Amino acid sequence: MGKNKIESYGYTEFYKRQIEALSIGDKALMPARVVEVHREKYNIVTEFGEKVAKLKGSLFYNGEQNNMYPAVGDFVLVRPNDQGEDTIYKVLERKSKFSRMDTFYKKEQIVATNFDKVFIMTSLNHDFNIKRIERYLTTAFQSGALPIIILTKADLCSDANIYENQLQKVAMGVPILAVSTVTGEGLSELQNYIKPSETIVFLGSSGVGKSSLVNNIAGRKIMKVNDIREDDSRGHHTTTHRELVMLDNGTMIIDTPGMRELGMWDVMDGLSTTFDDVEQLASRCKFRNCSHKAEPGCAVKKALDNGELPSDRWQNYMKLRKEAKFAEKKENINLRLKEKSRGKNIAEFRNKINSR
């Protein structure tokens, strides 16, 4: 497989330094990247190639409520096993992550980690929805990666500039590309954002053409493509689980199941970036605790009245902010629990590994 196999999967100094800081005496442990998750089994890649791994029970199933479990894209420390499954000992700190609110358990759900770019995809048909794109942008900015908006199925649209102009008003500074896998429009420009050893996560609703675009980028059919319903432009889910795929050109992609709604989780920074214009207006209000309803000197109300701030954008900002505030409360509880056990976990990890 080659000694640099793991480096080709994005293993950099960021992760090497973490391993060095752990001062692990067990030299048998090695870095790996998680490429697929199936219940309690993990497909990983090490310098020796692809293997199946399981978690080290005493380190993960120890009663701690805030153990960090592997997700697709994670780099982990594993003990190799020539006779069977490798064993995962630790998940390394993530340089980026994409998470959402688990609406059932009201907690964070990790969708993907350690990616460099987020391709926010929407098609130029009934799927186009500014509010949903604002939601995706908020999460993408929070993730720590570079968001890029991809307008698919440009061949079905008479004038993509109309849509691009709408997006430029809400996605200032974010690259926007209109592409078509049928005519080839925009695909050469898209190649500028596809680099070896980098990871891209794809976000978008079902039927927006994610699978077709991935197949085009890969130069071969690696994902199933289904037709959409013409009455509402919605498609069937072609991705049923998350996985990291290495393409022939050295780029990695993480495809996610089609999602029409994303529950906000820890996105206050991303919200501020996406709605910078709104927060700049709010900062000019006469009163610091302005509710933007009836107070005198309210810059937001003035902008709404004179049309400077579209009411739809304001309403969506308030909706996402409310969701983010709720998630923030949940996150703060989790952070307190994590901080309480972090030092203990690191010390226990070192002791267990070094005592072997």
264 or 299: which leads in pLDDT? 299
On whether the CB atoms of residues 3 and 47 are closer than 8 A, the answer is: yes
Q: What is the pTM of this model?
A: 0.75
- Backbone φ/ψ region at 206: left (φ over 0), alpha (ψ -120 to 50), beta: beta
Give the C-alpha separation, 213 to 233, whole Å: 17
63 or 93: which leads in pLDDT? 93
Mean pLDDT, range 174-186, rounded to an integer: 93
- State in words which class domain 5-93 has: mainly beta
Give me the percent of the chain exceeding a pLDDT of 90: 39
Q: Which of 148-162, 200-214, 276-290 has the lowest mean pLDDT?
A: 200-214
The whole-number pLDDT of residue 228 equals 47
Give the C-alpha separation, 271 to 107, whole Å: 19
Please say if the pLDDT value at position 15 is more than 70: yes
Mean pLDDT, range 253-267, rounded to an integer: 59
Domain edges within the chain: 5-93, 97-255, 268-330
- Backbone φ/ψ region at 244: left (φ over 0), alpha (ψ -120 to 50), beta: beta
Is the fold of 5-93 the same as that of 268-330?
no
Q: Which of 192-206, 214-228, 255-269, 271-285 has the lowest mean pLDDT?
A: 255-269
Mean pLDDT, range 9-24, rounded to an integer: 91
Mean pLDDT, range 248-270, rounded to an integer: 68
The whole-number pLDDT of residue 174 equals 93
118 Cβ contact list (under 8 Å, min separation 6): 98, 136, 140, 143, 145, 146, 147, 148, 200, 201, 203
Q: Which CATH superfamily is domain 97-255 in?
A: P-loop containing nucleotide triphosphate hydrolases (3.40.50.300)
Please say if the pLDDT value at position 233 is more than 50: no
The whole-number pLDDT of residue 77 equals 96
Q: Which of 46-60, 170-184, 240-254, 282-296 has the lowest mean pLDDT?
A: 240-254
Residue range 275-319, pLDDT digits in tens: 888 988 899 999 988 989 888 999 999 999 999 999 998 988 888
The whole-number pLDDT of residue 4 equals 58
Check whether domain 268-330 has CATH 3.90.1150.10, yes or no: no
100 or 243: which leads in pLDDT? 243
Per-residue confidence at 326, pLDDT binned at 50, 70, 90?
Answer: low
Mean pLDDT, range 317-339, rounded to an integer: 65
